[in-house]
Structure 1
């Protein structure tokens, strides 16, 4: 079934038209946690928006022997064309929390991308697939024998932000923002107004209006720019 005209697809298309900086400003305006940096696209300059499918990892210890070989599989099996996989790994960059086979599995299910609070590997394979991967670093060390899946489909920490399943996740070269699903329409409308106002300020400046005047006019109108 086509996803082009569903309400969910429309919402995600509208978020994808915005950048993370603008949505972060909207989150601020709505009293919600802003976006965060340090989670970079590992290839190219993709921009993806999707609903969070969550995975939490933890170190594999002796008591977990034999339980770490199939991390992420439940999450990938549950994800689909509207979704972004969010992997919580506490920011660890000494071991990969996402790799090439996972990119293949997610790509086959038309998942929109992955954001992992940790490191990844096999970036060339993800690039060939056209599968967006956002991570804190690249590292060749495998998760096998080092990590296990602690939970899936539960709230997880992505840096300083808690991500709930179904939250809107927008990621681009500027960072990552997480929008609580129930607040998504409000944040979207606020972000679109901010984008329109900043576009107007930019147009004035390009037309020769001095920047202080353009910014002052925005303040007088209650629409101060944020760049």
Structure 2
């Protein structure tokens, strides 16, 4: 698949997608838990941030490669989207122009697309928030784009420093965006369940007054590192 990265002029109509029930369950855990559960991989760069707060989404990636300052392939991609998908977009060269606004969001929403993740820029952000269309982007820019140069739809691409294959699962919230490989979804869901249960148990113990020092058995390691406890500064002067 990697040999197709960067190719243009191609639209792949049929892509494999993960079990929708598992995709939806990943939304329950959020980015931080999933990132840890799958071995601290798949996290997009911190430069890609949400334009809204309080939203958690998960969905199957429809990948879109666009030319700098050209949003033509967004329109091509809409036709390939299914309900529950998330559009993942990257330019062939760095560009933060406003590729995406309320009209494209209206079109994607009509086809059941849950969110946009983009290495480019977006505009009409106030309207996008009012519409309830979730976006994570590298930039906000009123600079418009043209429709002239071909890109691709549903080929592998790199977005936010991560390789994304069409059909991979995207989870995004206030903490950022994480990619789960389609073939690993069931395994990551199970690992996330276990991690979430463990965190809930620890939260209950902390709420009851137990110390993290004891829950995580930190004391022996701290002593090994040379941490000392004294009752007053006078002891240090002896």
TM-score (norm 1): 0.81
Matched, 1:21 2:19: no
TM-aligned CA distance change 1:14 to 1:109, over 3 Å:
same
Q: Partners of 1:57 and 1:85 in 2: how far apart? A: 12
Q: Partners of 1:111 and 1:129 in 2: how far apart? A: 13
Q: Deviations over 1:134-167 (max 9, x none)?
A: 112211001226x744111100111211110000
Matched, 1:9 2:20: yes
Match of 1:3 in 2: none
Query: Shift of residue 196 of structure 1?
Result: 1.1
Query: Shift of residue 36 of structure 1?
Result: 3.9
Match of 1:184 in 2: 185
Counterparts of 1:1-227 in structure 2, within 5 Å, are 8-28=19-39, 32-59=41-68, 68=70, 70-89=72-91, 92=94, 94-144=96-146, 148-216=149-217
Bigger shift: residues 37-46 or 160-169 = 37-46
User: Is residue 46–residue 176 contact of structure 2 (8 Å, CA) maintained in 1?
Assistant: yes
Match of 2:222 in 1: none
User: Is residue 24–residue 35 contact of structure 1 (8 Å, CA) maintained in 2?
Assistant: no
Secondary structure of 2:197 counterpart:
helix
Q: Partners of 1:200 and 1:76 in 2: how far apart? A: 43
Secondary structure of 1:51 counterpart:
strand
TM-aligned CA distance change 1:69 to 1:136, over 3 Å:
closer
Cα RMSD between the aligned structures?
2.1
Q: Partners of 2:71 and 2:170 in 1: how far apart? A: 27
User: Is residue 93–residue 136 contact of structure 1 (8 Å, CA) maintained in 2?
Assistant: no
User: Is residue 107–residue 129 contact of structure 1 (8 Å, CA) maintained in 2?
Assistant: no
In structure 2, the gaps of 5 or more residues are: 1-17, 219-238
The structure with the larger Rg is 2
Query: Shift of residue 37 of structure 1?
Result: 2.4
TM-aligned CA distance change 1:50 to 1:214, over 3 Å:
same
